Amino acid sequence: MLDDLDDAGEIHPLFRGAPDTTEFRKLRKRIVRQTREALEAFAMLERGTRWLVCLSGGKDSYTLLAALTELQWRGLLPVDILACNLDQGQPGFPATVLPEFLSARGVPHRIEYRDTYSIVTSKVPAGRTYCALCSRLRRGNLYRIAREEGCSAVVLGHHRDDILETFFMNLFHGGRLATMPPKLLNEEGDLFVLRPLAMVAEEDCARFARAMAYPIIPCDLCGSQEGLQRAQVKAMLDEWEKRAPGRRQVMFRALMNARPSHLPDPSLFDFSALLRADQGTVASE
C-alpha cells in the first residue's frame, strides 16, 4: 500500500526529486512503516487534532516530517501538521533555508525567533555542557507555540538510537533505568510530547536525508562541544554494533520487554506478595 501512489504518478511535493531506485523505495517504505508502527504501538493517534512538528534542519527532523507527511498524504494519519522551526539566535544560522524549503513544498509552517543562544552562553560556566539549559529553553518555547497554534502535541525527531543512548546515559551517569518515552504528557497536562521515529534507526534517517539532498543545518551550539556524555555513549554503541551487527535493535526490543519482577525495584513489584505454595497464592512472574 505504501508504494501504490508512486506507481500512479501521484506524489506529495515534499518527495519530488526522490531517487527512483529499488534501494531508496525500500528505505522509504521501511521508515514509513516503522513510524506507523510506533504511532499505533504507543497510542499516539488522536483523530482530528493538530500537531506541532518540530523541524531543526537536521537529518532526523527532515525524516520525521517526510514520514508523517506521507502517512497523512495516504490517509493513514488523520491529524493536521504544522511544521515549526525555532531559530534560537545562533550566530551564522541560515534563517532563510527552512522557510524557503517548506514554502516551496507547500508545507504549513511557522518560523519563530527567540534568542536563547545568548542566555545559554551567558548562564553556563566555561567547560560545562549547554544541552540541559538549551533543551529546557527550547522546550518551553515550543510548548508556548503549540498552545498558541491550538496543537495537542509537540512532535520531536528523536529516533531509536537517541532512545538507546539516553538509556545508557541514565544507567551510567544517572543511576536509574529510564530513557526518552515515545509518548509523554507534559507537566501541565495539556500537551503530549511524541516521538514517532522511536523505532527508526539513525542510519536510516541519515541515508534518507542524503538521498533526498535535504539542506542540512548543523547545530553550532551543543553539537560543537567536545567530550559530551552522549558522544561517548554513541561511540560505545557504535563499537558494539560493529562487533555484533543488529545489537542496537536487540537492545531496543529489550526496552519494550521489561519484566518488573526481575528487577530489584520494590516500587515496581511487590516482593512481599511473592509467596511459596505452602504460604498461599503464588504471585505469577
Of the candidates 127, 125, 124, the residue with the CA atom closest to the CA atom of residue 136: 124
* pLDDT (tens digit per residue) in 84-124: 998 887 888 888 999 999 999 999 999 999 887 778 777 77
Q: How many CA atoms lie within 13 A of 98 on its CB side?
A: 26
In whole angstroms, how far apart are CA 190 and each of 41, 121, 156, 260? 22, 31, 17, 29
Residue boundaries of the structural domains of the chain: 4-227, 253-285
pLDDT for residue 284: 54
Q: Which amino acid is at 57?
A: G
pLDDT for residue 7: 47
Of the candidates 167, 116, 168, 142, the residue with the CA atom closest to the CA atom of residue 61: 142
Q: How far apart are CA 273 and CA 204, in angstroms?
A: 45
What's the full length of the chain, in residues?
285
The model carries a pTM of 0.89
pLDDT for residue 278: 87
pLDDT for residue 222: 54
Q: How far apart are CA 217 and CA 115, in angstroms?
A: 17
Q: How far apart are CA 225 and CA 222, in angstroms?
A: 5
pLDDT for residue 285: 53
**Is residue 276 packed enough to be buried (19+ CB in 10 Å), middle (13-18) or exposed (0-12)?**
exposed
- DSSP SS3 for 105: coil
Of the candidates 187, 123, 122, 183, the residue with the CA atom closest to the CA atom of residue 156: 183
- Strand stretches in 88-240, DSSP E: 109-113, 153-155, 183-185, 192-194
DSSP alpha helix (H) spans, 74-104? 97-104
The pLDDT averaged over each successive group of 10 residues in the chain (285 residues) is 49 81 94 97 96 95 96 95 90 89 94 84 70 81 96 97 95 94 96 98 97 86 59 94 96 95 93 86 54
CATH number of 4-227: 3.40.50.620
Q: How far apart are CA 55 and CA 214, in angstroms?
A: 12
CB count within 10 Å of CB 42 equals: 18
pLDDT for residue 14: 81
- DSSP SS3 for 83: strand
Grid coordinates representing 201 are 534507526
pLDDT for residue 221: 55
Q: How far apart are CA 62 and CA 242, in angstroms?
A: 27
Q: How far apart are CA 42 and CA 39, in angstroms?
A: 6
Q: How far apart are CA 152 and CA 50, in angstroms?
A: 6
